[in-house]
Structure 1
Amino acid sequence: MTTPPALPRRRGRRPAWAGRNYVLLTAAAIATNLGSHGALIAAAFAVIENGGDAGDVGLVAAARTVPLVLFLLVGGAVADRLPRHRVMVAANALNCVSQAAFAVLVLSGDAVLWQMMVLTALGGAGQAFFNPAAEGMLLSSVTGEQASRAFALFRMAMHGAAIGGAALGGAMIAAIGPGWVLAVDAAMFAVAGALRAFLDVSHIAPRPPGGGLLSDMREGWTEVRTRPWLWAIVAQFSVVVAVVGAAEGVYGPLVARDELGGARPWGLALAAFGAGTVLGALLMMRWKPRRLLLAGSLCVFPLAAPSAALAVPLSVEWLALVMLVSGVAIEVFGVTWMTALHQEIPEDMLSRVSSYDWFGSVAMLPVATALAGPAENAMGRGPALWTCSALVLLVTALVLLVPDVRNLRHRPTGAATAGSTGSTGSTGPGESVEPAGPGEFVEPAGQPAERPASS
């Protein structure tokens, strides 16, 4: 009897790890990134067009950051207590309403500074609850074997949308004004919230009642402090994010204005960084380093290069190349970090741990940007930039002294055990604890919070 030929694989079929949740959340993240990155530019131009100066733009930006920092830890506790998709939808609804009101004020021509600050602060509060819930949603749902690939593909889509959103937003501001860009962002939040409302969370076990938000926050802190690799990298990035943010957010535009010919070269450099993040995500679709955090931490060293390039300063072409390489490097770190969290952190702790991670990353940023001007006045712009570069190198070298950072290995068979609270993630140097049954998650999802975050 002749054996019938095997049927060809149907073209366009999703891979096994790209389940319904993953598709919904990726589509929602693309929508919000398209809107939000244009809206960031639109908010600054809205302030300027209403008679504001650089200080007013800074006040509106700070109004978003302050509630983000204040409510992150509460947001993490809430997201581990309630169904995470409901927290995400509620945060998207708040962002939609606040951006719609902001758009109406700008389009009416009656916006005043305090109103813009209040509406922006509401958006920051929404983001504080969204970020831990979103990251926990992803980490609890992606399969262990394909986790790094899922994270990389999601981040590639997210960064691509961010680049497109910034370019489209800039064009729309020039053509029809910032108010309409803010209105589009509000609509994108509505679309994203609707998509996230259809998430399936049946694979997440019901959480027993706890002892209150403060107790939940203490449990999250215990989870962080008992894992040396976790608190060491959170502490490292509190410095890295702060000094890189000051260098590229404050000094970069000034160097471009004074040395490189204006805003266009700096825009090219930032575009090169964005392209690097996409290339880095493509790389991580194929590369699975065995020592996750060692590979990721080594890729933090190139983040010192942009500050050094601005200190010289290098020509536009070389600066763009440096930014491209740093974009690739930070994406390698991002995927390895997400994979480590997915592998080592118990499911019921994911959002609380994520909130401490986010808190560490953003808490020092307002301080660093506020001190950037006085530091330049005290030591000069060049020495200030060299100091930023040196701090990145120093804290990254220090974090490599932590044995668990060097030795934590990729475990392709599953995620952390739900009952393993307080584990350091290793039985000895570099030996990871194997999962025990309930820690293995099989329903793919996808929503890592971004740096910078997008709701």
Structure 2
Amino acid sequence: MHSYRRDLDMLRDRRFTLLLAARTISVLGSSFAPVALAFGILALPGATATTLSVVLAAEALPTVAFMLVGGVIADRLPRHRVMMAGETINAGAFFCLAAMLLTGWTPLPALVAAAAISGIAIAILFPALTGIIPDVVPADRLQTANALLGLGANISRVAGLVLGGATVVLLGGGWALVVSGAMFAVAAVLVAALRLTPAQRSASERHSVLADLRDGWREFISRQWLWVVVAQFSVLVMAVQAAHGVLGPLMAKEHLGGAAAWSAILAGEAIGMIGGVFVALRLRPRRPILVATLLTPPTALPYLLLGLGAPLWMIIIGAVVMGVCFDIFGVLWSTTMQREIPADSLSRVSSYDALGSLMFGPIGLLLAGPLAILTGPKPALLGCAAIVVLASLAALLSPEVRRLRAPAPAEGDGVASH
């Protein structure tokens, strides 16, 4: 219990508390989006699974395309200002999407444009978020900080999914998107209160953008454990995007009762992620990347159960398992990156991480709709589960994935494992 109290002492730090509040509220807003977008678009006259695929891909493609630019920006400028810009742009995009759904003026090009703006905002925001944590907390508290940020985010996911599902059912997807936009705006105000000086970025500002990208690439490619797991996730995320973005909601609509059922599955995943936080706070594996990679095959469980036509309660349990595994993976992965990669290039390296991990996601989204029409959602979901497992097992062939060791934890700072 003493160790958990020591973890919570971080909440006395003003800058970390501001970052935690901003991230928690931002995730609360984004948790409304999956249900609101999926069922709001599927409810449009003449909309099909392919329509949903196109809109979601329109968000995912700019995220991939602008991710490297976002990394360079976040290594050059104070990261709190970059995050503020990303949250503000995202708020504007979601207000536009909400206005279209509420007024009934929903031409596909306009929906695609608003979704694309949101994708650009994510590309700006993500590398800054990864890089800002070592700017705010000391090196020996990185895993605790990542876990606490995860705890706030996961609580928000549970609350947002439950409230978002209820809002969609009672009022429609448009109002849920209004809430999302408001939350992003509040997050922008909170993160604006952080103070990171421009001097912290001065070394990066002396280089050209191309030189910055080359330096970031050298840092990225020199670490086998890093690029192997990123390659794993490029395939895994393709399957997850297809299943989570299109196939899962389609199965819920056709066989499980609609938005409420899909919200329950997503809430189960978020509850699992909350449980994973408490494990991640105490777990200090000596081989963090090996442990993290071993946790990825079980994340296929909800897709397997959906594809087999399992009852809703069983799928929710599978989603809980997925959430636990993904959360522990995320904390171990972020902490290892923050320890192993120099701070002045961390955002650029994280942008290569995100670019590689997300680059096939739009393909999964674009293929999911036509595949669901061609084969039905159940076989497609079983295929997604198989892809997740095979990609995860392939990553374990890397010697560095299996052998990379973390520094020994300080006394009382968690439980070490081999």
Confirm or deny: 8 A CA contact 2:146 2:334 kept in the other structure: yes
Structure 1 residue corresponding to 2:138, chosen from 128, 134, 143:
143
Conserved 8 A contact 1:144-1:413:
no
1:311 to 307, 311, 326: 307
1:131 aligns with 2:126: yes
Q: 1:391 maps to which residue?
A: 387
Tell me how many residue pairs correspond in the alignment.
404
- Residue 413 of structure 2 corresponds to none
How far the C-alpha of 1:101 sits from its partner, in A, is 3.7
Q: Deviations over 1:64-123 (max 9, x none)?
A: 112111101111111111111111111222222333344444444445332232222112
Query: Following the alignment from structure 1 to structure 2, what is the Cα–Cα distance between the partners of residues 310 and 182?
Result: 27
1:198 matched to which residue of 2? Answer: 193
Q: Is the 8 A contact 2:308 2:382 kept in 1?
A: no
Which letter does structure 2 place at the counterpart of 1:337?
W
Q: Return closer, same or farther for 1:98/1:253 CA change in 2, 3 Å cut-off.
A: closer
Q: How much does 1:257 deviate? A: 5.3
Alignment partner for residue 406 of structure 1, among 396, 402, 406?
402
- Structure 1 position 277 matched with structure 2 position 273: yes
Are 2:22 and 1:28 aligned?
Answer: yes
Report the CA distance between 1:342 and its aligned residue: 1.1
Displacement of 1:255 in angstroms is 4.2
Distance of aligned partners of 1:382 and 1:167 in 2 relative to their CA distance in 1, 3 Å threshold: closer
Select between 166-175 and 395-404 the one with higher mean Cα deviation: 166-175
CA–CA distance in structure 2, aligned partners of residues 39 and 74 of structure 1: 25
Q: Which amino acid aligns with 1:362?
A: L
Amino acid at match of 1:60: V
* Aligned twin of 2:182: 187
**Distance in structure 1 (CA, Å) of the matches to 2:6 and 2:141:** 19
Measured after TM superposition, the shift of residue 346 of structure 1 is 0.3
Query: Which residue of 69, 74, 80 corresponds with 1:79?
Result: 74
- Asked whether the 8 Å contact 2:250–2:377 carries over to 1, the reply is no
Deviates more, 1:82-91 or 1:396-405: 396-405
Counterpart contact for 2:26–2:183, Cα < 8 Å = yes
| Aligned-partner Cα distance in 2 for 1:226–1:200 | 32
Taking structure 2 as the reference length, what is the TM-score of the superposition? 0.87
Q: Secondary structure at the match of 1:15?
A: helix
Deviation at 1:159, TM superposition (A): 1.4
Superposition pairs of residues 267-346 of structure 1, within 5 angstroms: 267-346=263-342
* CA offset digits 1:159-202 (Å, max 9, x no partner): 11122112222323444444433333332222211111111224
Aligned residue among 235, 240, 244 for 2:240: 244
In terms of fraction of residues, the more helix-rich structure is 2
TM-score (norm: length of structure 1): 0.80
Q: Distance in 2 between matches of 1:342 and 1:171?
A: 38
Does the C-alpha gap of structure 1 residues 329 and 142 become closer, same or farther in structure 2, counting only changes over 3 Å? same
Aligned letter for 1:92? E
Deviations 1:336-369 (A, max 9, x none): 1011011101001111111111112221112123
Change (3 A) 1:172 1:247: closer
Q: Which residues of structure 2 form unaligned runs of 5+?
A: 411-418
- Asked if 1:115 corresponds to 2:110, the answer is yes
On the 8 A contact 1:50/1:112 being kept in 2, the answer is no
Whole-Å separation in 1 of the counterparts to 2:28 and 2:261: 23
CA distance in 2, matches of 1:117, 1:334: 30
- Give the match's secondary structure for 1:288: strand
Quote how far apart the aligned CAs of 1:246 are.
2.2
Identity, % of aligned positions? 39
The separation in 1 between residues aligned to 2:200 and 2:321, in whole angstroms, is 41
The corresponding residue for 1:444 is: none
- Partners in 2 of 1:218 and 1:353 — Cα distance? 10
Question: CA contact under 8 A between 1:42 and 1:181: conserved in structure 2?
Answer: yes
Amino acid at match of 2:313: E
d(CA) in 2 for partners of 1:242, 1:94: 26
The equivalent residue for 1:219 is 215
Structure showing greater Rg: 1
CA distance in 1 between partners of 2:378 and 2:52 (Å): 25
Residues 343 and 411 of structure 1 are in contact (CA less than 8 Å); yes or no, is this contact kept in structure 2?
A: no
Q: Which moved more, 1:22-31 or 1:195-204?
A: 195-204
Kept after mapping to 1: 8 A contact 2:249/2:262? yes
* Kept in 2: contact 1:235–1:360 (CA 8 A): yes
Superposed displacement of residue 405, structure 1: 1.4
Superposed CA offset, 1:282-333 (max 9, x none): 2112222221111111111212323332333333333222221121111111
Output the CA distance in 2 between the equivalents of 1:90 and 1:115: 22
CA distance in structure 2 between the aligned counterparts of 1:359 and 1:246, rounded to whole angstroms: 17
Could you tell me which amino acid in structure 1 is paired with residue 35 of structure 2?
I
Q: Tell me the equivalent position of 2:83.
A: 88
Amino acid at match of 1:28: A
> Within 5 Å, which residues of 2 pair with 1:39-58?
39-47=33-41, 51=45, 53-54=47-48, 55-58=50-53
The CA distance in 1 between the partners of 2:78 and 2:356, in whole Å, is 24
Q: Post-superposition shift, 1:50?
A: 5.4
Change in Cα spacing, 1:165 to 1:269, as seen in structure 2 (3 Å) is: closer
Structure 2 CA distance for partners of 1:282 and 1:204, relative to 1, 3 Å = farther
Q: 1:163 aligns with which of 158, 163, 166?
A: 158
Gaps of 5+ in 1: 1-10, 415-455
| Contact kept in structure 2, 1:210 and 1:216, CA below 8 Å | no
* Distance (whole Å) between structure 2 residues aligned to residue 139 and residue 321 of structure 1: 35
DSSP 3-state at the match of 1:340: helix
Considering only aligned residues, what root-mean-square deviation do their CA atoms show, in Å? 2.9
Q: 1:172 to 1:290 in 2, by over 3 A?
A: same
**Equivalent pair of 1:237/1:361 in contact (CA under 8 Å):** yes
Residue number in structure 1 paired with 2:344: 348
The equivalent residue for 2:416 is: none
Match of 2:360 in 1: 364
Tell me the CA shift for residue 402 of structure 1: 1.7
